[in-house]
Chains A and B, each alone.
Chain A
Amino acid sequence: MASAPLPIAPRAESGRRFGFLLAAGFLLLLVILALFASLVAPYDPIAQNLKMAFAAPSFAHPLGTDNIGRDVLSRVIWGARPALLGVVITLITTSLVGIPWGLAAGYLGGITDLLLMRLADALLVFPGIILALVLTTVLGPSLQSSMIALGIVYSPVLARVVRSGVLSVRDREYITVTRLYGYSALYRMWHHVLPNALAPCVVQLTLIAGMSLLAQTGLGFLGVGLKPPFPSWGGSLSESFRYIVINPSASFAPGLTVALTVLALYRIGDELRDRLSLRH
């Protein structure tokens, strides 16, 4: 479409690379903290210490303490567990629903395609968090059910991407050749069509991971999700909000962590998109 290749200054290129490495490093750190939370976190995340309530950041409590004296840093570290687990549940649900959906629509075509894509349009109309709230009513308010609900919400987005990927390779010669081998339609879709349509899928899943973390934090803030006293970033934000005047640091840390994580996920998604589109 562009009449001339876009000039990219070498300095901008190295800056982008640095940003990507920073994003990947941050996510890796978060995964490690989540896995080894019991070793890394300085305090028990649900141990109350009313004498130490509303402590300002200090050497003993780098991010201060909350309204009932719990260590904010420890709660942020432990909160990474449900956050990352939730994102993984959402991504798995989205893939389980969205990939077969898009494959069937793109590969079978015709009336099946029309019906499946109409259904996708209908679901896409709903604002994600509202549909997740409504589905959570049905599945019951818990972390798992709200994450599964979010996975269902995002699946039509993925289905569309898979469908257009399938359409772009379906009639190529190397796919047609596999018909001669007499493989079943299902086998050919899975082993020959899908792998060639996977790259845009991975990019989309990275973006969905970011969106789902934002939505998950919002649901936690509304009280739909992990039940107190277990630490979650959204729940911590909701608890700390009431005391934000006297103790702003307890509201600051979880929100900033969410923002940085989402920023890192989007950065990685952008980078993957650029690299994968370079190959074409």
Chain B
Amino acid sequence: MELSTRKTLDRAFSGTGMFSICLMTASLLVILLPVFAKGIKAFVFRETIENRKMILEQFHRGDSAALDIEWESARTARQPVYDAMQAFRIELDTLEGSRRRELRSSFREVESALQSLLGPEPGSTLSPLLRNRYGQTRWDRAQVKLQQVLFREAWDYSRPGEAGTRQWIPRKQTFAGTRLEPMFDHLETKLDSMLQPRWTFYWRFLSDDSRDSHLFGGIWPEVLGTLYLTIGAMLFAVPMGVIAAIYLTEYARPGRVVQILRTCISTLAGVPSIVFGLFGLAFFINTLQVSSSKSVLAGSMTLALLILPTIIRASEEAILAVPRTYKEAALSLGSGTWNMILTVLLPAALPGILTGIVISMGRAAGETAPIIFTAAVSVGKPLTLLQTLTQPTPALPWNIYNLATEHAAVEEIRHVQFGMVLTLVVMVLILNATAIAIRARIARRMKG
């Protein structure tokens, strides 16, 4: 082969390699940037006075005197709206039949949209549902609600053969000439003083529990549940995995059996996680009955099984990479095998073992399928350590899916979903960074 051909081939290889690395980085950014941009909205946003009221009443935080003053001015700004509503109700009864029917149904829509924007009208009975007691807590959502008060969504099917087009019909037109008409302009111009938005940094999104299934409050039960499940899985998987790796490398007589065992472990690593979930349900809960129903304990055990192959393989590699001379030195000094493993082999293999633990920890924290059957519920309180033995828990991966697909008000709580994703990503990154730091420290200490 000619020199120029060889050089071209070399360049082609490094070019392809660099291209795929760049592609990977780019796709990572494409995923991470929106997650960060949208997730941060759960923490930093413009809160309305309704949010401050909710926090004070539900979480008992905030300055109640200052809120009273704010509330007074907000109430003053809202009064014309309520007055107009009241006046229109009286006017409605005086209207004749067909016009009355038409306006009544439209007025009901205005009423409900207004309630979700500003909260219940003064004097109305207290709703048992928290979501009906407060208006919009977030200014960005308030803008959407305002749109719904001001406009009616209608579809134009007038042109046959084409898809219908959406139209926004101003309600001001509908109610033209009535006593409700001025309210719309007032609402549009004065919404600021009615809701008094203000920038806030809601870091307690992490440490508050949720109210009314995530419409208000934070995600502490989910964060805690994820920590419990991850740490629990590690408690089971790390000792078992490392000891299994030691057995395979140090004690087992190399031969057919060990070969079969290794193949089994590799196969186990490729089993779909939902199968592990089903197994956890069937074995830990139904057969062993470690708990009467879903529990953190059962979930941890299932996750442990899932990550066990990764830990075994990584530990095995790490142990095999320890120079044989260390082993020989320890044994020649009169160390027994067990002692040699503890004092020489494991310390030297620790960085590699930690790498395996890091990888599987991230996996355990983010795995959804195994915990659906064994540990996860959609809504729950933060658990105490003792409760983890018997109680199920909400957990970030499951709740991200659950909130995005099965929540009654998916649109209302987009910020919570993205906040959870961001939290999960950051949690995994922190776990990894810690382990990498520990690993680097040990490796440095061993190099001398």
- A and B from one complex: no
Q: A residues engaging B (CB < 8 A)?
A: none
Q: B residues engaging A (CB < 8 A)?
A: none
